[in-house]
Amino acid sequence: MPGSAGVRLGGFMHPSHPLAACGAALFLISATQLAQARELVGFSDPYPNGTVVVKTSERALYYVLGNGKAVRYPVGVGRAGKQWAGTATINGKQLSPAWSPPEDVKRDKPSLPNVIPGGSASNPMGAAAMTLSGGGEYAIHGTNNPGSIGGFVSYGCIRMYNPDVLDLYNRVSWGTTVVVTR
């Protein structure tokens, strides 16, 4: 399967680790038993079934189901000066990814290590990440800082609660269209 060898975040490819993936899979099973922030809502925007729509101003991500319905998830989005809008596709999926800070993050926070291993409590990718086309700088990912959900907090990535990112991870595939609006 393409990309199963690792995930590219911050310009670096990190190998996946079978044990980390197993741990994330076990987390996936237990996460389904937790209360979820996602909800089924009416959705009349004209996007095809299976499209992911991020409405930055609402700090919400919608997974379009069709028939006027979508699953809505609360998210954290880009802070002032780091927001973007446009269309991308999911070009990678990884459970428990390692992370390398992109240059602008490293410039602002030089004390960050060059790589934070997947599964680490300090890893900002959380339980899963879905990378977006356009250079490997942006992803939809979980977080180990749930208090950041609902805010303008990232360098352009879309943050989700870990149980929610695992739910979305199981709904989308490579090539899924992602539309980000302001």
Given pLDDT bands bounded at 50, 70 and 90, which one contains residue 5? very low
**Active-site residue 141, yes or no?**
yes
Q: Output the pLDDT for position 44.
A: 96
pLDDT tens for 77-126 read 999 999 999 999 999 999 999 999 888 899 999 999 999 999 999 999 99
Three-state DSSP at 75 gives: strand
Going from the N-terminus, what domains does the chain have, and what CATH number goes with each?
Answer: 6-36+75-181 (2.40.440.10)
Active site residue 157: yes
**Predicted local confidence at residue 36, as pLDDT:** 66
> pLDDT digit string (tens) for 9-56?
443 334 343 334 434 444 443 343 344 689 999 999 999 999 999 999
Q: Which of 14, 17, 22, 157 is catalytic?
A: 157
Query: What pTM, to 2 d.p., does this model score?
Result: 0.81
